[in-house]
Chains A and B, each alone.
Chain A
Amino acid sequence: MAQPLPAARRPKRMTPARWGLYAFIFIAALYFLLPLYVMVVTSLKPMAEIRQGNLLALPAAPSIDAWVKAWTSACTGLTCQGIKIGFLNSLRILVPSVVISILIGSLTGYALSLWRVRGGNILFGAMMVVAFIPYQVFIYPLVRVFSFTGLGQSLLTIVIIHTIFGLPTMTLLFRNYFASLPVELFKAARVDGAGFYQIYARIMMPMATPMIVVAVILQTTGIWNDFILGLVFAGRDNLPMTVQLNNIVNSTQGERAYNVDMAATLLTALLPLVVYFGSGRWFVRGIAAGAVKG
C-alpha cells in the first residue's frame, strides 16, 4: 500500500480547508498519544508529585526509581520479584510458540496450496470458520484434556495451545502465498524428482521469506499480548507478563504506586512497540494478512 507520492501533487498554498485538515489530524494525534505520554511522565515522577500534581505535567524531578522497582521488586500476587519474572516467562512462551506455529502452519499451507489432497478444501474452509470462534468455546474441554494427559498447566501446554490457535491464520497466510507463486517452479522441481518435503525445505520456505517475516510479526505480537490463554494454560510458574502486570496493578493492597504501575505497563508494552516501530509496513501487511483472525 501507500505509494510514495511525488511532492508536486501536494498543494502548496495553505487554504482554510488545509488548516482544518491539519487541525483534525493534530487533535486526533493528541488523543492517540495522550495515554503514552501520561504513562511515560507518570512513571518518572515520585508518588508525592503524582498525588498533588497534574497528570499532564512534566516530572519536576525525573527519576527511574519506579522503573527499577517495577522490574525487580513489584509484587505480582504472592511474590515480590518484579515484572522481570513475567518478562522471562513471556519470552520462554514466545520463542517456541512462534517457531513451532510457523513451522506447522507453513507446512499445512504448503500441502493445501500446491498438492491436491482430497478433502483439502473442506479442511481449509473449516479452519477459516474456527479462526473466528471465541476461545471460551474451547477452553474448558481443553483444560480437561490437558489435565487428563498429565501435562496440566505447563510451558509445554501453553506452547501447544498457541500453536493450535495460531494454526488457522498461519495456514491461510502461507497457503495464499504459495498459491500466488508461479506453478512452473513447483512443476519443474517435481520433474527433477524432488519429493514433498524436499520441495518444501529447499524451494518453498526459502522463497517464503517475506511471508515468514510477516508471520513472525503477527505471532510475536499476538502471543506476547495474549492474556486469557496464558492465564488458563501456563500455570502459576509460567504466567506471562500480561497476567502478572494485571496482578501487580489490580490486586495491590493499600495505596497504589501509580509510577511503578505505569513503568510496569510500559515494560509490558515495550516488545510489541519495538516490533511495531521496527517493522514499519511489515506490521500493516501482517495485520492485513491476519485479518481473518481478528
Chain B
Amino acid sequence: MRLSLNSRLSAISALLPALLVMLVVYIGATSWTVWMSLTNSRMLPNNNFVGLRQYAMLFNNDRWITSVHNIVIYGVLLVSLALLIGFLLAVAIDQRVRAEDTIRSIFLYPYSMSFVVTGLVWQWLLNPTLGIQHVLRSWGFEGATFDWIVRPETAIYCLVIAGVWQASGLVMAIMLAGLRGIDDEIWKAARVDGLPKWRVYVSIIIPMMGASFATAAVLLSTAVVRLYDLSVAMTNGGPGIASEVPAKFVMDHLFERANIGLATAAATTMLITVIAVVAPYLYWRARRGEVR
C-alpha cells in the first residue's frame, strides 16, 4: 500500500524515539566505550590513544583472569545443569501427573525473584554456622562439612547452586512448551514399534526439540555474561577475589577503582563475546523465519 506523505511523516515521528535511542544510546555509547578502551583514561575519560595496551594489561590482571575463569566455570555448569534439570522437570510434568499446575508453579517461582533476593537467601542457607552444614550436624552427622561459600576454591560453585535454583524453572517452562508441541502421532508410532519410553525421548524427542534447547541455552548464556547482582549479594566477589565475575570487574573499575580504560577494555571484551554467541543464533532464527 502506498503511503501518503502525511502518514509517512507520522510513522517516522513514531519511530523517532527508537531511532534516537538506537543511534545515541546503543551505537553511540558502545562506540564511546570501545574508544575509551583504546585510551589511557583513568579517573576521567581522555583521548590519549594507546592502542591495545589496556587489553594487554587486562589479560595480565589477576583479578580479571580470576573473573574469566569463574564465569567459564559458572557458565558451563549453569547452562548444562539448568538444561538438564529443566528438561527432566518438564518430562516429569509431562507424564500427566497430579496437581500439575501447583508443581509447575513451585518450579518456576524462583525465576520471578531478583538475583539480590536469590543471592541473599542462598548466602544464609550455605552459611556454615547457621545453614545446611549446621542442620546436618544437629541431625547427628557430626563430621558433615558444607562450607563451600567460605572457601576460595569452591565459592563459585555456590553461585552455581543459587543460579540453577533461580533459572531451572525457566528452562522447564520452555521445554514443557516444546514437549506439548510434539505431535501425539509420534508417541503412537513409537508405541506401535514397541520402543521403551526413554528411548523415544533420547532418539526422537530430544532431537526434535532443537529449537527449545537453543532458545534456553542462548537465554541462559546471555544471563551468564550479565552475572553481577548474584555475586554482589551472595559473596561480594569473595572470599578475597575468589568469586569475582567480569561484570563486577567492570563496575568496580569504573566507579571505585577509577580505571576507566581498563574497565572499558573489559566491557568491550564482554561485548565481543556476547556478539559472537548471539549473532549466529539470531541469524539462524531469522533464517527459520522467527524474527523477520
Contact = CB atoms under 8 A, between A and B. Distances in A.
A226 B117 CA distance: 11
A288 B174 contact: yes
A171 B215 contact: no
Interface in B152-204: 165, 169-170, 173-174, 176-177, 180
Interface stretch (B53-61, B73-81, B274-282): B274-282
Given A115-B3, A116-B3, A32 B170 contact: no
Given A111-B15, A196-B6, A268-B114, 10 more contacts: A22-B97, A35-B121, A123-B15, A134-B247, A136-B247, A137-B271, A141-B29, A227-B116, A276-B105, A291-B215
B274 A127 contact: no
Interface stretch (A60-68, A69-77, A243-251): A243-251
5 contacts: A32-B110, A42-B124, A134-B271, A246-B233, A277-B109
Contacts of B255: 232
A287 interface: yes
B33 A138 contact: yes
Interface residues of B, number: 106
Interface string B105-137: 111111111111100111011000011101100
Interface in A242-283: 242-243, 245-246, 249-250, 258, 261-262, 265, 268-269, 272-273, 275-277, 280, 283
Contact of B32 (A141, A246, A287): A141
A205 interface: no
B120 A265 contact: yes
Contacts of B36: 140
B93 to A, nearest CB: 8
Contacts of B260: 140
Interface string B76-104: 00000000010011001101111011011
Contacts of B264: 140
Interface of A: 1-3, 5, 9-11, 21-22, 24-25, 28-29, 31-36, 38-39, 42, 50, 54-56, 104, 107-108, 110-112, 115-117, 120-121, 123, 125-130, 132-142, 144-145, 164, 167, 171-172, 179, 187, 190, 195-197, 200, 221, 224-228, 232, 242-243, 245-246, 249-250, 258, 261-262, 265, 268-269, 272-273, 275-277, 280, 283-284, 287-288, 291-292, 294
Contacts of B220: 294
A137 B267 contact: yes
Contacts of A138: 25-26, 29-30, 33
Contacts of B92: 21, 24-25, 28
Contacts of A232: 255
Given A196-B7, A242-B114, A294-B222, A250 B267 contact: no
B163 to A, nearest CB: 13
A116 to B, nearest CB: 7
B217 to A, nearest CB: 11
B64 interface: no
B21 interface: yes
A32 B107 contact: yes
Contacts of A288: 173-174, 177
B111 A287 contact: yes
Contacts of B116: 225, 227, 242-243, 245-246, 268
B103 A29 contact: yes
Contacts of A262: 124
Nearest to B278: A132
A145 B111 CA distance: 33
Nearest to B110: A32
Interface string B266-292: 111011001100110010001000011
B64 to A, nearest CB: 13
Contacts of A136: 228, 246-247, 250-251, 266-267, 270
A224 B114 contact: yes
A230 to B, nearest CB: 10
A5 B130 CA distance: 44
Contacts of B270: 134, 136-137
A35 B251 contact: no
B19 interface: yes
A32 B169 contact: yes
B165 A32 contact: yes
A111 B12 CA distance: 8
Contacts of B267: 134, 136-137, 140
Interface in B4-33: 6-8, 10-12, 14-15, 17-19, 21-22, 24-30, 32-33
Contacts of B113: 225, 269, 272-273
Contact of B114 (A195, A258, A269): A269
Contacts of B38: none
Given A123-B19, A144-B45, A135 B226 contact: yes
Contacts of A29: 103, 106-107
